[in-house]
Amino acid sequence: MRLSRGSQALLRISTGITLAFIYVPLLVIVVYAFSVSRTFEWPPPGFTFDWFDLAFDNTGARDAFVYSVKTGLLATAVALVLGTLASLAVARHRFFGRETVSFLVILPIALPGIVTGIALNSTFTQVLGIDLSLFTIVVAHATFCIVVVYNNVIARLRRLSGSFEEASADLGATPWQTFRLITLPNTRTALVAGALLAFALSFDEIIVTTFTVGAGDQTLPIWIFTNFSRPNQLPIVNAVAVIVILISIIPVYLAYRLTREESTAARGGAPVASGAVTAP
Amino acid sequence: MGRRLADLFHGRPRLQAGALLAGPVGWLVVGYLGSLAVLLVTSFWTLGELSGEIEQTFTLDNFRDVVENDVYRSVTGRTVLIAGLVTVTDALLAFPLAFYMAKIAGPRTRGLLLVAVLMPLWSAYLVKIFAWRGILSQEGVLNWALEPLGIEGPGYGLVAVWLVMSYIWLPYMVIPIYAGLERIPNTLLSASEDMGAKPTYTFRRVILPLALPAVIAGSIFTFSLTLGDFIAPTLVGSGEQFIGTVVRDNFTVDLPFAAAFATVPIVIMIVYLLVARRMGAFEHL
């Protein structure tokens, strides 16, 4: 569409402002993490690396970090298996209720986190009568991470002809052989991208976690949330916040790179399968 | 073993599909939908007056409270109002950005913008809210920036909650609108132009109707995610209650009531999703 120079400039300016709106707060928290001040004082009176040292030495934060990584890895593993199975079924087979599967997979992330959280909490504590623990968090996180793997893998499978798999089966390969030798090599980057996003999603989640975390256990977001109001902890919380930003943004960037290269090759330079990276 | 299994599955697509689906669908139907059902059942239970233990006897009292109690009615109203404001704000902010990405920017800029929007999409949710706590604080960035103009920032409160929620969910609105606008063929816009339509007319009569389902698709997320949040009200609010905070505060002391109140966002979202589906938004999810 040919727009006048004036309206083009206007669009460009509003784009710039919106992007600034997205990134300035993230930069601010990075600056705060290096500020010598123990409050949110701005401009910072000076800069220091001390808070990062203190954050690394803080046993509470360190334990929470390890716990988050453990949760993230386990939840990602479960989501990877379930998401891949579901995407193979939907992409390669026709059956009654096929559309419902996509809807079912999206539901845990489309409904407010508080609904998912309290529903799982009632099931665990009232029906199953089990104590909240690592197991319950992993179940909860895996449930809303399935969609990420599913969307990435199904986008890849749809671009990939199913005839290779059929040929493999016709030549006598077992389903497992076909998966290992044909499907897996062709979907590997989508699986890695899905796993990275699932991990990032789990690592940063707090709402569902609040309802499924065991007594005495803390994920890193829960640690931040319980420490933000303690005045002396503020600088350490800022430093931990920066670590969380890095751990949750870098996987998303890597996942984007992985899926983009594939789709650029497949679609002749058209940018990204946006649906693949943005699960919902 | 493997061989016999292979023979069993070969040429039986239904069996294959069934075997693939058993795990994930079982997990989601039994684990997730089952839990939602448990939530619903729990909401009909009650707390024993003396024991404080949950009694599994059927009662509508929790729902009567949710619907008739003025406090809870205003909590619901406030939450829906904020969710609506956040959705409108995000649509207004996202549309020009998405339009610039899809129709004006060159391929390189488009790629860069896309990664710039995607990167913070899911990440650092809590940290972003925490960052705003710093920005909006009395001695923080915003007041410092506004001081030369002689005005003061909003501080913590309802305005801050609205601002922060709009900030957090913005990328969820940009991506579907961008994808929706990208699907509109440029030839359609040229045709409108060739037949003498001014850009504003083309925008109103061609672009907007075609992009509306995508906007509604984005609004599902901005609306739903705002509806259940309790972190932003806790970190940047000034004690206002929202659906999320009421549920959180009650779930340890009165789980049946918390469960009943949690059905409010479910009902609202079911209605929302039904309307969205009628308007064709599901193809843009």
pLDDT: which is higher, B12 or A32:
A32
Of A135, A221, A13, A172, the C-alpha closest to B10 is: A172
Compare CB distances from B199 to A3, A210, A228 and report the shortest one's residue: A3
Report the residue of chain A nearest B187, measured CA to CA. Answer: A1
Answer whether residue B50 is part of any domain.
no
Answer whether A127 touches B (CB < 8 Å): yes
Of chain B, the percentage scoring pLDDT greater than 70 comes to 95
| Same domain as B280, residue B151 | yes
pLDDT digit string (tens) for A15-28? 999 999 989 998 99
DSSP bridge partners of B46: B55
Which among B16, B110, B228 is the nearest to A112, CB-wise? B228
Give backbone dihedrals phi and psi of A199, rounded to 5 degrees, phi first. Answer: -65, -45
B5 with B98, same domain: the answer is no
Q: Smallest CA–CA separation between B1 and chain A, in Å?
A: 10
Non-local CB neighbours of B261 within 8 Å, separated by 6+ positions? B62, B66, B72, B243, B246, B247, B250
The answer on B255 and B202 residing in a single domain is yes
Same domain, B123 and B74: yes
Count of CB atoms situated within 10 Å of the CB of A249: 21
- Cβ of B94 within 8 Å of Cβ of A116? The answer is no
- Return the beta strands (E) in chain B as ranges: 46-47, 54-55
Q: How many domains does chain B have?
A: 2
A114 touches chain B (CB under 8 A): yes
Here the CATH number for the domain that contains residue B118 is 1.10.3720.10
Number of H helices, E strands in chain B: 15, 2
Q: Are residues B262 and B121 in the same domain?
A: yes
Helix/strand/coil for A44: coil
| Contact present, A244 and A220 (Cβ < 8 Å) | yes
Phi/psi for B55 (5° steps) reads -105, 130
Q: Is B108 found in the same domain as B20?
A: no
Chain-chain contact of A40 with B225 (C-beta, under 8 angstroms):
no
Where would I find the H helices in chain A? 5-34, 50-57, 59-92, 98-110, 113-122, 134-159, 163-170, 175-178, 184-204, 207-212, 220-227, 234-267, 274-277
Distance from the Cα of A89 to chain B's closest Cα (Å) equals 5
**B119, A256: Cβ pair inside 8 Å?**
yes
- Cβ–Cβ gap A113/B199 under 8 Å: no
Low-confidence ranges of chain A (pLDDT < 50): 264-280
For residue B203, the tally of other CB atoms under 10 A from its CB is 18
Q: Quick check: B244 pLDDT over 90?
A: yes
CB B172 within 8 A of CB A280: yes
pLDDT band at residue B2 under the 50/70/90 scheme: low
Q: List Cα–Cα distances, A137 to A67, A214, B169, B254, in angstroms.
A: 11, 8, 24, 22
Binary contact (B39, A82; C-beta < 8 A): no
Burial B136-160 (b: 16+ CB within 10 A, else e): bbeebbbbeeeeeeeeebeebebeb
Do B220 and A110 lie within an 8 Å CB cutoff?
yes
Q: Is A161 on the interface with B (CB under 8 A)?
A: no
What ranges do the domains of chain A cover? 1-48, 58-277
Average pLDDT over residues B133-155: 88
Task: Dump the DSSP string for B164-180.
Answer: HHHHHHHHHHHHHHHHH
What is the spatial distance between Cα B118 and Cα B31, in angstroms, rounded to a whole number? 30
Give the closest of A39, A225, A260 to B126, CB-based.
A225
Which residues of chain A neighbour B247 with C-beta distances below 8 Å?
Answer: 114, 118
Domain carrying residue B3: 1-34
- For residue A94, the chain B residues in CB contact (below 8 A) are 13
Contact status, residue B264 vs residue A114, Cβ threshold 8 Å:
no
CA distance, residue A11 to nearest chain B CA (Å)? 6
Tell me whether A28 touches chain B (CB under 8 Å).
yes
- Say what the pLDDT of residue A168 is: 85
Q: For residue B54, with 0-12 CB atoms within 10 Å meaning exposed, 13-18 middle and 19 or more buried, which class applies?
A: middle
CA distance B51 to chain A (A): 16
For every residue of A150-161, DSSP letters joined together read: HHHHHHHHHHS-
Fold of the domain spanning A58-277: MetI-like fold (1.10.3720)
What values do phi and psi take at A35, rounded to 5?
-75, 140
Is residue B83 located within the same domain as residue B210? yes
Interchain pair A107, B115: CB under 8 A: no
A231: preceding bond cis by omega (within 30 degrees):
no
Distance CA B173, CA B218 (A): 4
Contact: A113, B100; criterion CB under 8 Å: no
- Taking the CA atoms of residue B210, residue B213, residue B219 and residue B224 in that order, the dihedral angle to the nearest 10 degrees is 180
ipTM over 0.95: no
Taking contacts as CB-CB distances below 8 angstroms, the residues of chain B near A89 are: 17, 20-21, 24
Does residue B17 share a domain with residue B76?
no
Q: Nearest CA of chain A to the CA of B188: how many Å?
A: 9
| CA A1 from centre of chain | 36
Question: What residue type is assigned to position B166 of the chain?
Answer: S
Closest Cα in chain A to B106: A271
Identity of residue A203? F
Which secondary-structure segment (H or E) carries B275? Answer: helix B255-278
Q: Quick one: pLDDT at residue B122?
A: 66
Q: Is residue B107 part of a domain?
A: yes
B173 to A26, A74, A184, B167, B260: CA distances (angstroms): 19, 30, 33, 11, 30
Q: Which two tokens stand for residue A114?
A: 């508080």
- Tell me what pLDDT residue B5 has: 67
Higher pLDDT: B91 or B54? It is B91
Nearest CA in chain A to B96: A11
The closest CB to that of B265, out of A26, A105, A112, belongs to A112
CA atoms of A44 and A238, how far apart (whole Å):
13
Chain B nearest-CA distance from A187, in A, is 17
Distance from CA of A217 to the nearest CA of B (A): 16
Question: For residues A36 and A59, what is the distance between their CA atoms, to the nearest angstrom?
Answer: 22
- The verdict on a CB contact (< 8 Å) between A206 and B231 is yes
Q: List CB contacts (< 8 A) between B25 and chain A.
A: 86, 101, 104
Pair of tokens at residue B254: 């009165």
- Does residue A243 sit at the B interface (CB-CB below 8 Å)? no
The pLDDT, as a whole number, for residue A262 is 58
pLDDT at A6: 81
Which chain B residues are Cβ-neighbours of A210 within 8 angstroms? 248
Which residue of B lies nearest to A206 if distances are taken between CA atoms? B126
pLDDT at B248: 92
- Are residues B127 and A244, on separate chains, in Cβ contact within 8 Å? yes
Q: Which of A25, A95, A113 sits opposite B17 (nearest CB)?
A: A95
Query: Which residue is it, tokens 């401009």?
Result: A43
Q: How far apart are CA B97 and CA A16, in angstroms?
A: 8
Residue B45 lies in a domain: no
Nearest CA in chain B to A96: B14
Nearest CB among B10, B124, B170 relative to A244 is that of B124
